[in-house]
A and B are shown apart, each in its own frame.
Chain A
């Protein structure tokens, strides 16, 4: 009889994050006013720079592209109850190995060559994070600390190789590997200046969503993530699942590295280590470990970064301003999670308030009906 049941709850899951964004901007405007900047000019700059036009959208999407793939490196293990923060390391290794594959196989036909590079990136990142999963499963080494430590190792390896054995001797003041041939560089999505990495990111997020929500494998992962001990009693092979999900997670970050190399840098060097990995951890957590929500949060962060550029150029604000804005927006969004079911206006009439209200908080912007487990309780396992 009701064509659109639970519309209030859908409206709620749209209004709360958007409202949080507005509140954060209000707070930020207040801070700016205290510092003597005109808040209206600040808002106008943020909008213009991030979403005000096709030019701005391209800027935003370009910055969002590497974050999507890289965020999946945290999202997938989180569904199994693991907190992996090795994104930066997997990205860097994937990029380095992908670049070297292209360099070793210069004569490759473009499609095969790019495929080989992608596979190299996927394998490098995947095996790297799988090692973290293996240490976790077989030795009980906490995956959060091992992935953090291994980031430093991967970055040291990158620096050592591009400044030592794999260095192109003609890359004088910016030590790099040999450049990729033009045929092995990823182009842009016509008619824009956004490279194919964005498409890869969108597709990977969609696949991750289907994998987790619609397959037996995903069901097993969610079961283990919900209750590891029970899953073991039921007879799920937690070890195999851990290794598989860690491999998939790392392969996404490794592919992000390959995209950076093939679409942006054209070679591997120290610029690969650009903190995408660390930003994407935040994206994963704000997205509540939901692959589809990751897309939206990554675009939001891309927009924030893009507006940071104009805030400096047009209003001469210090470069750290955008970090404050970023922290503020994400803190308020995180706080807003606690407002679900609390605002009377969004309450459903009693008879409709069934399973939806008792479930987990609806994900940001109603992107999915997933029920992500919060992996936070895992540090002690």
Chain B
């Protein structure tokens, strides 16, 4: 414990730390949503998967003693909710946005219901990689403590980018998302492709939940996500359905998230509601500046969100 005070150097450090700590849930959920939407379906209910994943991960880690079992279980919980969503949206005329909103409530309700006994106990947490140990400053050490899940998430982002561009399966998913009829004519199963994408996407959201409950902030309670799942879904639009840009969007959001408290700690007081709203304002401003009426749809799958037609 050193008495060193970082002063204003705390701000970039807080952004860096916040970026490394806070961006992972956004990253996993937005990658999951990106995969889902590339296949032509929307899943607004990933917040529900995230919450159920958070409580499942925490409970399993508590009972098994291994946080990694919790992460796997959380992915499983996400897959299960994803399966329900996928089955529902394959029905004729069933609108995927409506199902997503209902799944968000159902998943959240289930998580709160099952999670009651796990608010109080402490579960084993995920380990961290200590990349900052070269420094004597505990602040630097702490900021550079990196979760392996962040690295896995970054790897998934780049793999997904390559997967869509260069693999046969990636091409099939894109074809299904662009034109289900054409894909069907080419002999691919639209339903099975979309089901797989929705389930894997929801599984990723479940893992995001496990990160919240098992690493940062590292606890289960009913407010653990404060809407991160919903926001991450929206970030996919911001990232123009591009996995690599999902990574940048998640880093931007995670990094600005810790800014409000950090500014207060160095003496920028008052206006905390305004500073806490900064990430939202910043995202909006970036969208207004970078969008244009002409090319706003670049990257979007052409059949996105269309429900299965009659008959």
Contact = CB atoms under 8 A, between A and B. Distances in A.
B178 to A, nearest CB: 11
A285 B105 contact: no
B237 A144 contact: yes
Contacts, number: 171
A371 interface: no
- The CB with the most chain A CB atoms within 10 A, among B84, B113, B302, is that of B113
Nearest to A142: B237
A interface, by DSSP: helix, strand, loop or mixed? helix
Nearest to A83: B97
Contacts of B110: 320, 324, 327
Interface residues of B toward A: which range?
35 or more
A1 B31 CA distance: 59
Contacts of B296: 140-142, 381
B291 A327 contact: no
Given A281-B101, A324-B113, A338-B92, A380 B284 contact: no
Interface stretch (B122-130, B197-205, B271-279): B271-279
Contacts of A156: 273-274, 276-277, 280
A157 B107 CA distance: 30
Given A141-B287, A153-B280, A335-B91, A148 B230 contact: yes
Interface stretch (A131-139, A217-225, A244-252): A131-139
Contacts of B103: 327, 331
B105 A145 contact: no
B280 A376 contact: no
Interface in B286-311: 287-288, 291-297, 300-307, 310
Nearest to A325: B109
B102 interface: yes
A104 interface: no
B234 interface: yes
B105 A330 contact: yes
Contacts of B293: 137-140
Interface in A143-173: 144-146, 148-150, 152-153, 156-157, 159-160, 163
Given A156-B277, A286-B98, A327-B105, 17 more contacts: A139-B293, A140-B294, A141-B288, A144-B237, A148-B234, A153-B280, A153-B281, A285-B97, A327-B48, A327-B106, A331-B99, A341-B310, A361-B93, A379-B42, A379-B237, A380-B301, A380-B304
Interface of B: 37, 42, 48, 84, 88, 91-99, 101-103, 105-110, 112-113, 116, 230-231, 234-235, 237-238, 271, 273-274, 276-277, 280-281, 283-284, 287-288, 291-297, 300-307, 310
9 contacts: A146-B287, A160-B271, A331-B88, A337-B95, A376-B95, A377-B305, A378-B305, A380-B297, A381-B300
